Amino acid sequence: MGEAPGWPNWVDQHLDHLRHEKRLSPRTLAIHAFELQRLRTLLDERGLNLDQVDAHWARAAVARLHAQGLSPKSLALTLSCWRSLFSHGVQQGFLRHHPLVGIKAPKAAKPLPKALSVDDAVALAQHQDPDADPWSRARDHAAIELLYGCGLRVSELVGLDVQASPKAAGWIDVPGREVHVLGKGGKRRSVPLGQAALDAVEAWMSIRAQGLDAAHPTPALFLGRRGQRLTPHVLRQSLKRWALGAGLPTSVHPHMLRHSFASHVLQSSGDLRGVQELLGHASIQATQVYTRLDFQHLAQTYDSAHPRAKRNT
């Protein structure tokens, strides 16, 4: 980078260290050089040397870059490159202290889970794939009704057996109208089985054994064509085809149906604790994201429907 007031030659030595001893890729080296040039520009604007940087200046610099539009992820990368420089300076005796200890980038906002609208979820559940054979159609329909109607994780769904047993991770109780699953952390829970899901499961179970080897029955509720337990991958592919056939505007995956279940139950009931129990969340904090999703839904409804929400044109 060259010698300049406040910018010593050992910065170039640091880049050589990254290149030859750390063996960083050319792309990563270019990122470091760019971020160090950013640091140099900020220091030059204040007439500061590297050894004058302190925690107060560093926090102000991060806040300024954030205000200029740098995302938390970008700021984390910037700070990582700066820390590398200051660590090298301290280790080599060029600097007396490391000013970035404890300095962190702002936390990135967690994206809201993607959920289907009620209309799209119902359209998906009611769709009947005309290109699928009756066996696959019944299986996929029952899987979709359980994912949306019970809020199951995909691992919980494919782990279901047709009846309880000592080895069963989960099972379906048709007479009792319940689904029993083994969730994260080995936590068991029971979820009510709604009428639509019950009808779809009964239709699937009536033809489930067709074409299978009767001498080697399997306890799995959902099966692949060779009689083995259905895999999450096959289920995801089937759901994508089903959603495409239903004319949905987005790619649908199993967890989106779990999000849709939680969001729609919360919209109807307002019972956050109840949704927590249905989802099998260990803490209420994990469930609270759906209150944000519910508020977003309400805000969109207000913006589109309330006469005082519309801007004058």
User: Strand, coil or helix: what is 277?
Assistant: helix
Active site residue 184: yes
Among the listed residues 32, 180, 208, 258, the single catalytic one is 258
User: Distance between CA atoms of 95 and 277, rounded to whole angstroms?
Assistant: 55
For 222, which DSSP code? Answer: S
Active site residue 139: no
Among the listed residues 127, 141, 153, 264, the single catalytic one is 153
User: Strand, coil or helix: what is 239?
Assistant: helix
Active site residue 148: no
Among the listed residues 22, 177, 184, 233, the single catalytic one is 184
Q: Are the beta carbons of 265 and 278 closer than 8 angstroms?
A: yes
Q: Are the beta carbons of 249 and 117 closer than 8 angstroms?
A: no
46: its two tokens: 């204040």
Question: At CA 278, angle to CA 119 and CA 112, rounded to 5?
Answer: 55
For 50, which DSSP code? Answer: G
62: its two tokens: 């991060």
Q: Are the beta carbons of 145 and 204 closer than 8 angstroms?
A: no
Active site residue 258: yes
Question: At CA 224, angle to CA 213 and CA 252, rounded to 5?
Answer: 165
Active site residue 255: yes
Active site residue 141: no
**Residue for token digits 């610099």?**
61
**Residue for token digits 């919980």?**
156
Active site residues: 153, 184, 255, 258, 281, 290
